[in-house]
A and B are shown apart, each in its own frame.
Chain A
């Protein structure tokens, strides 16, 4: 596996905000069919690293490569087109549109129909059906016509995941997908992530704090601390390593079950 060409790679990736190095010299490779969990205390730079990967932020140094192609200077939309899909930690949707419309926008992007101005969007059966199916997948079908602004937080989190699924990317980036969800909603999302992993042809990156989730899902754990990559390897081994015990688990004892 390790000899296969990586799908996604960051090389010496860094970003500085003023003097603060939020991500510092991170080099890492991600291979097809693997689920990598990124852990680290609050403010470690996990979200910032995701932003550098998906193009919301531009790197100060270093490169982002997808199948060896340099994406570093590409815009977020171009990267999404290339197959880097992203769900956000802080819910980031289209509040004035219905839940179905939100998903339809993502499906339309994946189908490249955004330029079509002569057809009524709701009558594009291919897109509407797929969008509805995705709402069912995250068990939100009953909310299809509700404005997103009126949805409870947990439903918005699920919608966030539905949008990512709609893009059918090659690389899935989940940033704390289950944060703020009620206990009965969490398994739905984890099940979806496990399904993507089971397909074996995608790269999944997951930022997650809940250690039981991390243990059961991950093929590999990467630990960030103060913007630096401090540990990387098999879950059991990483969790046991002294650097993690001190840097991460020590800091968030409560969550380390």
Chain B
């Protein structure tokens, strides 16, 4: 059963398996474990970004296609829903129409990108995607009457997915992890730990995103372990030889670009619904593209599990590194050079440093490194090469 769900592709490291189980558990029960709005919205973003980064990994990690247009497709999905609900009102029909329209635009654009420029050198494809993504960004910014320009657009989500919708009359009990931690340290009483969770449309929307994220992830695991996925890896390893074996590699590469773009578009749709506000900065900006790349590399390219790790690490850092730095500053003498250096507004600097260090020490990403350790440790007898054996690996069941 598990083998089937994971397509026989296990984490292959105990530590990794534990981390993944924790992330999965927290996301599954998230609204019942964290009382704050901030944690709630971050978990929603993790779900959306897992789709976005895992689909990027399909291109970058599994096929070695470098594209800078991934956020463009993300933005197409997000703006598709925003524009559709702006003109047709807050109904599921508007959302579906917007999503469908965005998917059509995505397929056409991705096909054009793929067929026009995948024939030539990889660097050329990367540059074309960069140019197209920039053109799209400036188009969206300038079409103020339709897209709201820099101001962006409010997304009119269906009532059933909004905060006003209350499917249950009663509240449910939640168990606050942060408060439990504080209680353990003796800072609060254990009564504080339980809190009331009111199920709203936003909770439902969160679970839609979570469900989509799990499904897409399992789907991608299947894809990369299928005969198709193996051809992608063959193209990554030696495209010349893949052609000599009779594979029309341009077709395969185009298919990957289209599939990955479609999933990015889906992530955009979910983002619009969960964030309820889209603008060029949160969907199309080049900075976001760089973040996706960072998450993919940090987690471990070509592992898929790496995208879950990379997204979680990155979003945690983005949300909480500033708090951490603020705490640090308070400990330091005010107005000292050091205090300026660790100012919370410099979180990206510190994150950059963490990133450089992580890439330096874990060149194959967190997942790659964990797998390497697992393979070296005498407890697990599986060599990293034994990827494809059909035998059930009991230790992971």
Taking a contact as CB atoms closer than 8 A, the residue among A56, A75, A116 that contacts B248 in the complex is A75
Complex interface bits, B232-251 against A, C-beta within 8 A gives 1, otherwise 0: 01101110111111111100
Contacts of B387 in A (CB 8 A): 98, 101, 145
A123: CB under 8 A from chain B? yes
| A167 CB within 8 Å of chain B | yes
| Residue with the highest number of chain A CB atoms closer than 10 Å, among B230, B247, B248 | B230
Which residues of A from 105 to 144 have beta carbons under 8 Å from B?
105-106, 108-110, 113-124, 127-128
Interface flag for A205 (CB, 8 Å): no
Q: Does B229 contact A (CB under 8 A)?
A: yes
Whether B227 lies near A114 (C-beta < 8 A) is: yes
Please report the total number of A residues contacting B with Cβ < 8 Å.
45
Answer whether residue B188 sits at the interface, using C-beta atoms and an 8 A cutoff: no
Q: How far is the CB of A30 from chain B (nearest CB, A)?
A: 19
User: Complex: how many Å from CA A100 to CA B390?
Assistant: 12
Using known A-B contacts A98-B388, A118-B222, A147-B385, determine if residue A124 contacts B227 with beta carbons closer than 8 Å: yes
B8 at the interface (CB under 8 A from A): yes
Enumerate chain A residues within 8 angstroms of B390, measured Cβ to Cβ: 122-123, 128
Question: Measured between alpha carbons, how far is A126 from B335 in the docked complex, in Å?
Answer: 71
B7 beta carbon closer than 8 Å to chain A? yes
Asked if B164 is at the interface (CB within 8 A of a chain A CB), the reply is no
Shortest distance from the beta carbon of A83 to any chain B beta carbon, whole Å: 10
Query: Is the C-beta of B252 less than 8 angstroms from some C-beta in chain A?
Result: yes
Q: Is the CB of A109 within 8 A of B222?
A: no
Whether A101 pairs with B247 at a CB distance below 8 angstroms is no
Contact indicator A105/B230 (Cβ below 8 Å): yes
Known: A77-B246, A92-B241. A114 touches B252 (CB 8 A): yes
B319 contacts A by Cβ under 8 Å: no
The answer to whether the Cβ of A213 comes within 8 Å of any Cβ in the partner chain is no
Q: CB < 8 Å: which of B225, B238, B386, B389 contacts A93?
A: B238
Number of interface residues of B (CB under 8 A): 35
A95 interfacial by beta-carbon distance below 8 Å: yes
Interface 0/1 of B284-326, CB less than 8 Å to A: 0000000000000000000000000000000000000000000
- The one of A97, A115, A118, A123 in contact with B233, judged by C-beta atoms closer than 8 angstroms, is A97
Which residue from chain A places its CB closest to the CB of B238 in the assembled complex? Answer: A94
Residue A81 is within 8 A (CB to CB) of chain B in the complex = yes
| Neighbouring A residues of B240 by C-beta, 8 Å | 56, 92
**Interchain CB contact under 8 A, B385 and A150:** yes
Distance to closest chain B CB from A151 (angstroms)? 10
Whole-angstrom CA separation of A110 from B227 in the bound complex? 12
A97 proximity list for chain B (CB < 8 A): 230, 233-234, 237
**Cα(A119)–Cα(B230), bound, Å:** 11
* Residues in chain B near residue A96, CB distance under 8 A: 233, 236-237
The answer to whether B238 touches A92, judged by C-beta atoms less than 8 angstroms apart, is yes
Q: How far is the CA of A106 from the CA of B17 in the complex (A)?
A: 33
Known: A106-B245, A114-B247, A167-B246. A95 touches B227 (CB 8 A): no
Chain A residues with CB below 8 A from B377, complex form: none
A104 within 8 A of B: yes
- Please tell me if A243 contacts chain B, counting CB pairs below 8 Å: no
Q: Any chain A CB within 8 A of the CB of B228? A: yes
Query: Which one of B8, B230, B243 contacts A108 once the chains associate, using CB atoms below 8 Å?
Result: B230
A92, A120, A145, A167: the one contacting B383 at CB < 8 Å is: A145
Q: Which residues of B contact A127 (CB under 8 A)?
A: 227
Partner of A77, one of B230, B236, B249, B386: B249
Q: How far is the CB of B53 from chain A (nearest CB, A)?
A: 20
A108-B228 Cα distance, complex, nearest whole Å:
10
Bound form: Cα–Cα A75–B251 in Å: 13
Question: Is the CB of B380 closer than 8 A to any CB of chain A?
Answer: no
Least distance between B244 CB and chain A CB atoms (Å): 5
The 8 A-B pairs with the shortest beta carbon distances in the complex, nearest first, are A80-B246, A94-B237, A117-B228, A109-B246, A76-B243, A117-B226, A77-B243, A116-B227
Supplied contacts A95-B238, A101-B387, A116-B226, 8 more A-B pairs, CB within 8 Å: A77-B247, A77-B249, A88-B244, A93-B238, A96-B236, A105-B245, A122-B390, A167-B245
20 CB-based A-B contacts, threshold 8 Å: A92-B241, A94-B237, A96-B237, A97-B234, A97-B237, A101-B388, A105-B242, A108-B230, A110-B246, A115-B227, A116-B227, A116-B228, A117-B223, A117-B226, A120-B225, A121-B226, A122-B225, A123-B8, A128-B390, A163-B245
